[in-house]
Amino acid sequence: MSSVDDSTTAVFVETQTRHVLFITQAIFFFALAWCLVLNHSATAENDGISFYGVYHETVALLIGGYAVAFVGLWKTSTHFKAAGVSILTWVGLRVIALLLFVLLATPFNRGAFLNWTHMIAGVLGALCQLEVALQLVRENRSFRTVIGLVVLVLGGLIAAASLPDWHFEYLLQGEIIFQVGFAWCLIEWTYALADRMRNEQTLGFH
C-alpha cells in the first residue's frame, strides 16, 4: 500500500469510523434512556437492560436501539478489518453485534431454556466486549484507554455482583456503566488505530 493510501485509510478510520460510532452509540443510549424514563422500577433494576426487551412499552425502543448498535458495530468491524486490526477485535465486534439479536430473540421470562440461552449469550457478549477493551489497552496504553477499561470492568463487577440472590440489585446500573465503558473504548480504538497508521506511514518515509 502506498503512503497516499495509508494516509487516506488513516483519515477514514479517524473520521468516518468515529462518526459512525458516535452516531450509532448516541442513538443506542438515547433509546436506553427513553426506556429508563418509561420504567425505572425495582424490577428493571433487578432484571437489567433485558427487562426492556420483554416490557411491552419498551420492546420497540430496545429493538431499535440494538438494530442501530448492530449497524455501527458491523461497519466498524469492517473498517477495522481493512485497517489490519487484530482478528480478535474485528471478529469480536461482529459476534457482539449478532448476539444483540440473540438476546432479543430469547426473552428470559419465557421458560428455562430461553432464560439460559439468554444468559449464555449475555455472558459471551460481555466477554467479547472485555476482549475488545483489553486489545485496545495492548494497542495503546494511555490514561484515556485505561480509564475506559476501568469503567467497563467496574460496570461488569457491579452487574456480576447483582446476579446472585443476596439483595444487591444493581444489575441495570452495572450494565449501563459497562456499556458506557465499552462505547468509550470503541471511540478510543479509532484514535489508537489512526495513530498507529500514522506512525507506520512515518516509518515508511525513512
Domain annotation covers residue 123: yes
CB 21 within 8 A of CB 186: yes
Average pLDDT on 115-129 reads: 96
Average pLDDT on 12-28 reads: 87
Domain count, the chain: 1
Domain annotation covers residue 85: yes
Domain annotation covers residue 203: no
Average pLDDT on 39-46 reads: 93
The domain of 164 spans 3-197
pLDDT in tens, 147-197: 999 999 999 999 999 987 777 889 999 999 999 999 999 999 988 887 777
Percent of the chain with pLDDT over 90: 74
CB 75 within 8 A of CB 95: no
- Whether 15 shows a pLDDT value over 50: the answer reads yes
> What pTM did the predictor assign?
0.89
Report which of residues 99 and 198 the model is more confident about.
Answer: 99
Domain annotation covers residue 157: yes
